[in-house]
Structure 1
């Protein structure tokens, strides 16, 4: 995790951490740190994505594939902002809705099998849940794992690139498989590193609790 999103209190993660920006988004934020209000800019990006999707009813067209680029250029500019405004806590949910909406509408309207769209969305939701839930118990995922998940903007760009190459279904399938494998690997690593209490202590050979023979 970069210094820009390091947490001061593990139970209260920095909103910039919950944004889940890619390296590209973080780079844009460093170019103009604090220059734009996060919530207004992110809402504008979400509106642009919605308009571009509605323009062709969510189907795969050149206009639709521009949505991730437009969202990245707008929302990425605010990734370096301290997010200390009264309503800036709404920024991560707005980014989530933009990503989920883009993946769902584009996939379903362009003929990607529904189950495949569902699997990809579940994988992305679990990724976000992991980032939100772990700080509550004083943990965060390794920085390289979060970076490997590509960020909200990176995942949208991967899907858009697949569409541009006329391989949208393959892009959904490969991205879903990649994210699921990453989640499983991190889950196994976490479980393996968790201490296990020896439940055999205080029990006799027959499985009962030791008791006095008198």
Structure 2
């Protein structure tokens, strides 16, 4: 049996799970099939997002707030690719970093309270860490939990909509609270549903004590 502190031997990790695509990105991936390689559109979307961040996301208004998420959706069209290329492993971390930078820069430049931005980023990072850990052990999160997390595209579009309506602090707080409750609920139910393996009790002597080892 594998050691208790090591991943399952020979377990291959599906990088598409680590992408954390939402409903829209997954739908685009189904339409495009496996024809579009993942790294090029992901890197392109990340570069455009970085340029907009440096230009000042806080100065954007209206529909222009959706520009980073809209451009990054090019990567969603590659979600159906098997991610078996030499550099395809880079797509998930690039998506993660782009989402973090977008949420951090938009919140900071638009005047969202720092603690609220921190809580949202922490909730998103914990969800990502949960997916990585479970996938490493060959037991990915349930499908309903992955859908409920909205995906990087859903979260970015929701925040952009909040900024367009002038409800950015409320949107950050609502999304942070939702993701935190979802994480606690899903983790708790998963632990309760996991069978518990009882360790064998050590031998005891006639007085009820544990016999000392003689070896």
| TM-score normalised by length of structure 1 | 0.85
> Shift of the alpha carbon at 1:191?
2.1
* C-alpha distance after superposition, 1:48-77 (max 9, x if no partner): 11122222x2315233432112211x1111
Matches within 5 A, 1:183-202: 183-196=183-196, 201=201
Matches within 5 A, 1:1-214: 11-55=11-55, 57-62=56-61, 63-72=64-73, 74-196=74-196, 201=201, 209-211=209-211
> Shift of the alpha carbon at 1:14?
1.0
Contact 1:11 1:135 in 2 (8 A): no
Match of 1:5 in 2: none
Whole-Å separation in 1 of the counterparts to 2:137 and 2:81: 26
Work out the number of aligned pairs and report it: 200
* C-alpha distance after superposition, 1:189-208 (max 9, x if no partner): 1221234456795598xxx7
Give the ranges of 4+ consecutive aligned residues of structure 1 lying more than 6 Å apart after TM superposition. none
Partner secondary structure for residue 78 of structure 1: coil
Whole-Å separation in 1 of the counterparts to 2:99 and 2:164: 18
Partner secondary structure for residue 59 of structure 1: helix
> Shift of the alpha carbon at 1:36?
2.3
Note the residue ranges of structure 1 that are not aligned, 5 or more in a row. Answer: 1-8
* C-alpha distance after superposition, 1:111-132 (max 9, x if no partner): 0011111111111111111111
Note the residue ranges of structure 2 that are not aligned, 5 or more in a row. Answer: 1-8
Whole-Å separation in 1 of the counterparts to 2:110 and 2:10: 41
> Shift of the alpha carbon at 1:211?
5.0
| TM-score normalised by length of structure 2 | 0.85
Please identify, of 176-185 and 62-71, the stretch whose mean Cα deviation from structure 2 is larger: 62-71
> Shift of the alpha carbon at 1:37?
2.1
> Shift of the alpha carbon at 1:187?
1.5
> Shift of the alpha carbon at 1:210?
4.1
1:182–1:48 CA distance, 2 compared to 1 (3 A): same
Contact 1:10 1:138 in 2 (8 A): no
Partner secondary structure for residue 12 of structure 2: coil
> C-alpha root-mean-square deviation of aligned residues, in Å?
2.3
Contact 2:65 2:163 in 1 (8 A): no
